[in-house]
């Protein structure tokens, strides 16, 4: 079985991070193919390999699997470890993943993922405050119910991969997710697969002005660890 996973820029592409991190953490081998963002709208270029014109995309022989949730569900049917084995933990994890996939629009818009930067927020909406409160509640529930250190128990699964981009946002923007949430953030950011993604993000010299403008709209950059040149 030979998979190819197509993703975009390490610094910005939170949707790409999810299946990449999941596959690396669970031990599913794949060829790593990067298609960088050229602008905020890459639809026409990405349509060459993606039915939706977006990343990530998983290629499995002649089969194309698109969307981060679609990829997680596809892999879960073929590989152990993608979802928790405990039935209650698995049900909770699937719901939490679906909530992340379909919600938290204010968080995505106002606290975009930018791994190498540290940002002091200058404004935030009521909708953002609700998103942050819900994430803190959700993480706390999973850690308490299933015993940690991961969101659905003692092993890294898809739910950790889907919330890993939020962990980077917590660090970049100084978001308060409570004590339990902060411990999980430390745990997931210390995972070898997450650290490998972060190292690649910091090494990128590519900058996409639209993503940089999104950061500037909601905060003031205080430091930038990314490579230049």
Q: Where are the domains of the chain?
A: 3-76, 87-197
Q: Is 101 helix (H, G, I), strand (E, B) or coil?
A: helix
CB-hemisphere CA count at 13 Å for 130? 7
Q: Is 94 helix (H, G, I), strand (E, B) or coil?
A: helix
Confidence of residue 20 (pLDDT cuts 50, 70, 90): very high
* Nearest one of 80, 84, 62, 59 to 70, comparing CA atoms: 59
Tell me the per-residue pLDDT of 111-158, one tens digit each, with 9 for 90 and over.
999 999 999 999 999 999 999 999 999 999 999 999 999 999 999 999
31 pairs with which residues across the strands?
4
Q: Is 82 helix (H, G, I), strand (E, B) or coil?
A: coil
Could you say which architecture CATH assigns to the domain 3-76? 3-Layer(aba) Sandwich (3.40)
% of the chain at pLDDT higher than 90: 85
Tell me the per-residue pLDDT of 147-204, one tens digit each, with 9 for 90 and over.
999 999 999 999 999 999 999 999 999 999 999 999 999 999 999 999 999 999 999 9
CATH class label, 87-197: mainly alpha
* Nearest one of 164, 169, 184 to 24, comparing CA atoms: 164
pLDDT at 207: 87
pLDDT at 50: 82
Q: Is 205 helix (H, G, I), strand (E, B) or coil?
A: coil
Whole-model pTM: value is 0.95
User: What would the two tokens of residue 210 be?
Assistant: 């639209």
pLDDT at 38: 66
């Amino acid at each position: 079985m030979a998979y190819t996973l197509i993703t975009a820029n390490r610094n910005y592409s939170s949707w790409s991070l999810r299946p990449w991190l999941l596959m690396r953490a669970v031990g599913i081998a794949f060829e790593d193919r990067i298609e960088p963002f050229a602008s905020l709208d890459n639809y026409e270029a990405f349509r060459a390999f993606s039915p939706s014109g977006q990343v990530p995309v998983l290629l499995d022989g002649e089969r194309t699997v698109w969307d981060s949730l679609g990829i997680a569900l596809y892999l879960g049917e073929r590989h152990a470890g993608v979802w928790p084995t405990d039935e209650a933990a698995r049900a909770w994890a699937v719901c939490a993943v679906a909530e992340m996939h379909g919600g938290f629009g204010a968080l995505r818009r106002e606290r975009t993922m930018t791994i190498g930067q540290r940002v002091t927020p200058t404004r935030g909406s009521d909708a953002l405050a609700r998103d942050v409160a819900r994430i803190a509640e959700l993480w706390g529930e999973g850690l308490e119910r299933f015993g940690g250190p991961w969101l659905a128990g003692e092993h890294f699964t898809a739910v950790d991969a889907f919330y890993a981009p939020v962990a980077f946002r917590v660090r970049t923007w100084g978001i308060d997710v409570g004590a339990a949430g902060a411990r999980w953030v430390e745990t997931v950011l210390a995972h070898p697969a997450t650290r490998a993604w972060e190292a690649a993000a910091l090494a990128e010299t590519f900058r996409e002005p639209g993503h940089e403008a999104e950061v500037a709209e909601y905060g003031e950059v205080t430091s930038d660890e990314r490579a230049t040149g």
